[in-house]
Copies of this chain bind each other. A is one copy, B any other.
Amino acid sequence: MPRRHKTPEERQRLKMLILDAARQLFIERGIEAVSMREIAKRMAYSPTTIYLHFADKNDLLQTLCDNDFLILANDLQHINASSKQDITEQLRQLCTAYSRYALAYPNHYRFMFMTPKPVNSKEKSRIRQGNVEQDAYAFLRSMVTQAFEQQVFRPELQNIDLIAQTMWAGIHGVCALEISMIEDDWVDWQPIEQRVFLMQEALIQGLVRPRPVH
């Protein structure tokens, strides 16, 4: 029973309904269970209705993802609050918070950082790039910049993006291996907390200028 000229609020509500159904399916039964037909079934609409609000499946997933990026960025915010602590301690906390997020929502994380995406996805995103409150990379980068200005890194390290990307890659590596290989009993995996912790410490030790020995 269609109504002509749905209000923008109603259109938004339906869009949310789609996203909610998708997210629920995503969480309950994993990413491979998320099909357009399944989403539609769950919200008691026909599959093609979804295409009135999203260009295609990827667009839908991308939108779903945007939300998760915001949640991640938001999770990181509270670190800065306790800014009495020194900057390396804050970097440590950043590593911990990031890995906690990744391991708490492995399905989301997989889609966010472990799946190649079409190139056009940036323009459509509603996240404001570079905004520290919405863009987790920007947050990391700004923290690294702070540390850099306090000259905590080894003197030969002069490229802020390179430092930030290396830290990211380190923690990402631990989380990504955990998510992909958790079922694999080929390797005698050590506890994930220990792996995160050692990576974090190794990165700090490896990148930070050694304290002068008296």
Query: A residues near B, CB below 8 A?
Result: 113-119, 121-122, 129, 135, 137, 154, 157, 159, 161-163, 165-166, 168-174, 176-177, 179-190, 194-195, 198-199, 201-207, 210, 213
Question: A179 near B122 (CB under 8 angstroms)?
Answer: no
Question: A180 near B129 (CB under 8 angstroms)?
Answer: no
Nearest CB of chain B from residue A74's CB, rounded to whole Å: 18
Question: B115 near A180 (CB under 8 angstroms)?
Answer: yes
Known: A169-B174, A174-B169, A190-B165. A183 touches B213 (CB 8 A): no
Nearest-neighbor residue (CB-CB) of A183 within chain B: B119
Residues of B contacting A137 in the complex (Cβ-Cβ under 8 angstroms): 186-187
Q: Which 6 A-B pairs have the closest CB atoms?
A: A173-B173, A206-B206, A202-B206, A169-B173, A205-B206, A169-B174
A171 to B107, CA, bound (A): 22
**Copies per complex of this chain:** 2
Known: A162-B190, A176-B114. A170 touches B168 (CB 8 A): no
Beyond contacts A119-B183, A122-B184, A170-B202: 12 other A-B pairs, Cβ-Cβ < 8 A, are: A114-B180, A116-B179, A117-B183, A129-B186, A159-B190, A162-B195, A165-B189, A166-B202, A169-B177, A170-B170, A176-B176, A210-B210
A206 to B205, CA, bound (A): 5
Residues of B contacting A183 in the complex (Cβ-Cβ under 8 angstroms): 116-119
Nearest-neighbor residue (CB-CB) of A135 within chain B: B186
A170 to B168, CA, bound (A): 10
A162 to B188, CA, bound (A): 9
Residues of B contacting A206 in the complex (Cβ-Cβ under 8 angstroms): 201-207
Question: A122 near B186 (CB under 8 angstroms)?
Answer: yes
Nearest CB of chain B from residue A76's CB, rounded to whole Å: 16
Question: B173 near A174 (CB under 8 angstroms)?
Answer: yes
Question: B162 near A198 (CB under 8 angstroms)?
Answer: yes
Q: Which among A168, A169, A190, A206 has the greatest number of chain B C-beta atoms within 10 A? A: A169
Nearest CB of chain B from residue A188's CB, rounded to whole Å: 5
Residues of B contacting A181 in the complex (Cβ-Cβ under 8 angstroms): 113, 116
